Structure 1
Amino acid sequence: MHSNIIIGILILLYCIFPHSIFAKEEWVLDKELSIISFEIPVFLAKNVRGQFTQIEGLIELDLEAKENNKAIFSVDINSIEMNYKKYRNLMLSNVFFNVKQFPIALIDTKKFSYEDESKLEILVELSIKGVTETVPLQLEIKRLAEELVQIKGKLEFSRTAFKIGIGKWSSTAILKDNATIETDLFLFRE
C-alpha cells in the first residue's frame, strides 16, 4: 500500500514537472579517500607542500543536455598540514590565509559541459581570502566502478593575486608566486 502511494506520487511529479528535473545525477565526495594538496615553490629551499584534511564537495551532472553540469568543492583552511610545521601559525595568520576572517577556500565550476571524456579542461572560480579569480583546471576522470569515480585535477594560480603573503612575505624573491593545487578525489553516486 505504502509503496503504491510513493510510486503514484513519483508518477504524478514526473507528469507535472519537466523531465529535466529527473535527469540529474549527484556524485558526493568520499572524504576519507580524497585529497586536496598544494605546493608553492621556494627559492633555494624545499618547496612548501601540504594538504587539507577537511574537504567537502559534490558534482551534479546533467544527463540530458550534458551542458549544465556543476561542481563545488571547499577546504577548511584550518585543517592545513604542511612540511614546514613551525610556520603553520604564520600560514593561518592574516599574513597568509587569515583563517579567522576567511576560514574556507572554494572551487566552483559554475556550469560546464561533460560527455564522458577521460580528460577535460574547464574554467573554475577559485575563491581564497575573499578574492575570486577564474583559472583553468585540468582534469583526468576515471570510472572505477558503476558507482565510483576518481578525478585527478591540477590548477595553478598566482598566490599574490589572492594576497597569500603580505608585507615582507609578498615578495616573490624567496617564496615564488606560482602556486599549484592538485586533487585526487573519489566520488560516489548518490
Structure 2
Amino acid sequence: MTSLFKNILRASAIVPVMAICAPAFAADQWQVKADDSDIEFAGTQLGADFEGEFNKFTAEITFSPDDLAGSKVSVLIDIASVDTENADRDSQIISADWFDVAQWPTAKFETKSFREIAPGQYEATADLTIRDVTKEVVLPFTLEIEGNEAEAEGTVTIKRTDFGVGQGQWSDTSQVGDDVTIRIDIDATRS
C-alpha cells in the first residue's frame, strides 16, 4: 500500500510539471507556394538602380504567432537561379568575384528568434550566410493569416561587402553600390 501511494504521489507531481513545460500552442508547419512567392533584391550599378530575383529556393517554416519561441524558419537560396533580366550581369553575379556559385552555390537564412512589434508585424533575428560568411540580420515583416493561408512580406538592407560579395576591383563600391535591399513576399499553406 505504501509503495502504491508513493507512486501515485510521484505521478501526480509529474503531470503539473509537464503541463507547465508544454507550450499552450504548438507552432504550425507551413509549405511555401513557390509560384506565388518571391525573393527579390535591388542595388545600384554605375549610379543606376537595378533589380533582380532568385527563382529557386526552399524553405522550412514552423511558425505560430502564439508560439514565437517555438517558431523557426530556414531558407536555402539557389544563387545560380538569379535573374536581373540582363544575361551579362547574371553571369557576373555567379562568378568567382561575386557569389562564386562553384564554391558556394547557396545562401542561407536561418532564424534565431521572433518578436512581435505590433499586431501582424514582427521582427525575425536571423543568421544570413553568403559565401560562407555569416552575419546576423533583423528582418521586419508583416504577416497575414487567413484560415490555412498565410502571406509574409518583409524588407532588409545589407552591405554586400560584409559578405565578401564583390572581390578585387569590385570591392570598390563606386561602380556597384554596397547597399543591397532584399525583399521577401512569401505565400504559404498550413500543412
Q: TM-score category by the smaller chain?
A: 0.7 to 0.9
Cα distance in 2 for partners of 1:139, 1:61 equals 13
Partners of 1:120 and 1:97 lie apart in 2 by: 29
Are residue 30 (structure 1) and residue 36 (structure 2) matched? no
Q: 3-state DSSP class of the match of 2:34?
A: coil
- Could you list the runs of 5+ residues in structure 1 that have no partner in the other structure? 1-14
- Bigger shift: 28-37 or 111-120? 111-120
Q: Residues 29-178 of structure 1 correspond to what in structure 2 (within 5 A)?
A: 29-45=32-48, 47-61=49-63, 65-114=67-116, 117-143=119-145, 145-178=146-179
Stretches of structure 2 lacking an aligned partner (at least 5 in a row): 1-14
Task: Report the Cα distance in structure 2 between the residues aligned to 1:65 and 1:80, rounded to whole angstroms.
Answer: 34
Local SS of the residue matching 1:94? coil
TM-score (norm 2): 0.81
- What is the DSSP-based 3-state SS (H/G/I as helix, E as strand, rest coil) of the residue aligned with 2:92? helix
- Compute the displacement of 1:118 (Å): 1.1
Q: CA deviation at 1:124?
A: 1.4
Task: Give how far 1:115 is off.
Answer: 9.2
- Whether contact under 8 Å (2:27, 2:68) holds in the other structure is no
2:183 is matched with 182
Q: Deviations over 1:9-29 (max 9, x none)?
A: xxxxxx99x855982311121
Distance 1:19 1:49, change over 3 A: same
Change (3 A) 1:187 1:115: farther
Q: Call closer, same or farther: CA 1:115–1:180 in 2, change over 3 Å.
A: closer
SS of the residue aligned with 2:165?
A: coil
Percent of pairs identical after alignment? 25
Count of residue correspondences:
174
Describe the SS at the equivalent of 1:183: strand
Opposite residue 147 of structure 1, the aligned amino acid is N
Q: CA deviation at 1:77?
A: 0.4
**Residue in structure 2 matched with residue 9 of structure 1 by the alignment:** none
Paired with 1:40 and 1:131, the residues of 2 have a C-alpha distance of 20
Deviation of residue 82 (structure 1)? 0.6
CA contact (8 A) 1:48 1:83 kept: no
Structure 2 distance, partners of 1:108, 1:165, is: 23
C-alpha contact 1:68 1:113 (8 A) present in aligned 2 = no
Distance 2:172 2:166 in 1: 8
